[in-house]
Chain A
Amino acid sequence: MSSHIVWMIVGMTAVTYIPRLLPFVLFKGKELPGFVQGILKNVPYATLGALIFPGILFINEDIWFGLLGAAAAFLAAFLGANVIVVVLGSIAVLSVYSFLF
């Protein structure tokens, strides 16, 4: 192992772990103001929106590939499929699509 790469990995480990850890230490046992708590409750759903778009559209050079994958996932989830079925279903739909086109 080259020490150059190992030092890079150690640095990356520190700067990745610290933001993950800090909030648990900083806000331990602290009651945050109501408005802030409200915002933090909103964060998961806003994050999910930002994680899905626009990323899902660009999983392939062919934008239809992403659009179809998104449509399949939204439809399956809307019909009440559980998460694993949504994942496997979208993969299946795109497999058929890339097999055909």
Chain B
Amino acid sequence: MAELAVGKPSGEVRKGVQAGISIAIGYAPIALTFGLLAKTTGLTIGETVLMSLLVFAGAAQYISLSLLTLGTGIFEIVLTTFIVNIRHFLMSTSLNEKWEDEQAANKVILAFGITDETFSVAAVREEKVTSGYMLGLISVSYASWVICSGIGHLIGANLPQTLQESMSVALYAMFVGLLVPSMKKSLKVVFLAALAACFNTIFTLTNTLSTGWAIVVATLLSAVIVEWIESVKSRSRGTGA
């Protein structure tokens, strides 16, 4: 009985680690490049690793470097980071619904590790999400991010050009790999993804919204529209119309 109680959560950690391996692979080239760019921007290795350790948000970290190069003030950089990362609010809200843990402290700590990638992997999991699973998933992704940032700064060189270019598809391919199995099972998922993809493409290409807001607005619009259509359909079916 005691063994069972101990054995189950650690099994969840292991499953989380396994699920996190594709994230770790995808983060490696991005973090290496981040380390390299941070070096050319003039950050020390300590500052580079500190940023990856504390912020753990790829897009925002890249943007901060280009803003530093432009001589932008700290306040504006922090504000931009906030706008770029506001989408995580939506992701945490969604994940909170399927993540069960009586111990509030676990979620408070692990919330630090919610990224586009860890969220996506956890959110499409068929079973409920547990803190053990999140711990495994986040640890392996975080380790890859922090260590590769440091290595990138240390060696100050990229992967071979061809490999670097090819690996830039990694995280996108992972998102596709996470999405398609659900698309095959449900037409609703196909509509949700396609609609959000269309909105985001329009917002991005027309420059109506910055990247941070574009993803949030596209996601919300799609999620609300599809839910609304479904509720109208089921209501009309319910009244026999």
A interface residues with partner B (beta carbon < 8 Å): 1-2, 4-17, 19-25, 27-28, 32, 35, 37-56, 59-60, 65-66, 69-70, 72-74, 76-78, 80-92, 94-95, 97-99
Nearest residue (CB) in B for A38 is B227
B58 to chain A, nearest CB (A): 11
Give the CA-CA distance A39 to B62 in the complex, in Å. 31
Q: Is the CB of B94 within 8 A of A44?
A: yes
Majority secondary structure, A binding face: helix
- How many residue pairs link A and B with beta carbons under 8 A? The number is 286
Known: A12-B55, A77-B179. 17 other contacts (CB 8 A): A12-B61, A16-B56, A19-B85, A24-B104, A27-B96, A43-B91, A46-B192, A46-B196, A47-B90, A50-B196, A51-B172, A54-B200, A54-B201, A73-B169, A81-B177, A82-B177, A87-B173
- Per CB-CB distance, the 5 closest pairs between chain A and chain B, nearest first, are A49-B193, A86-B177, A44-B123, A77-B180, A53-B197
Which residues, 183 to 215 on B, are CB-close (under 8 Å) to A? 184, 188-189, 192-201, 204-205, 214-215
Q: Does B239 contact A (CB under 8 A)?
A: no
Chain A residues within 8 Å of B19, by CB: 83
Give the CA-CA distance A39 to B153 in the complex, in Å. 42
B interface residues with partner A (beta carbon < 8 Å): 19, 21-22, 25-26, 43-44, 46-47, 50-51, 54-57, 60-61, 64, 68, 74-75, 77-79, 81-82, 85-97, 104, 107-108, 111-112, 114, 116, 119-121, 123-124, 162-163, 165-170, 172-182, 184, 188-189, 192-201, 204-205, 214-215, 218-220, 222-224, 226-227, 230-231
Q: Is the CB of A16 within 8 A of B85?
A: yes
Q: Is the CB of A49 within 8 A of B176?
A: no
Given contacts A38-B230, A69-B172, A83-B174, A44 and B204 within 8 Å (CB-CB): no
A81 to chain B, nearest CB (A): 7
Nearest residue (CB) in A for B99 is A24
Q: Is the CB of A87 within 8 A of B177?
A: yes
Q: Is the CB of B111 within 8 A of A47?
A: no
Give the CA-CA distance A87 to B79 in the complex, in Å. 33
A87 to chain B, nearest CB (A): 5
Contact of B172 among A13, A21, A59, A89 (CB under 8 A): A59
Q: Is the CB of B222 within 8 A of A46?
A: yes
B191 to chain A, nearest CB (A): 9
Q: Is the CB of B173 within 8 A of A24?
A: no
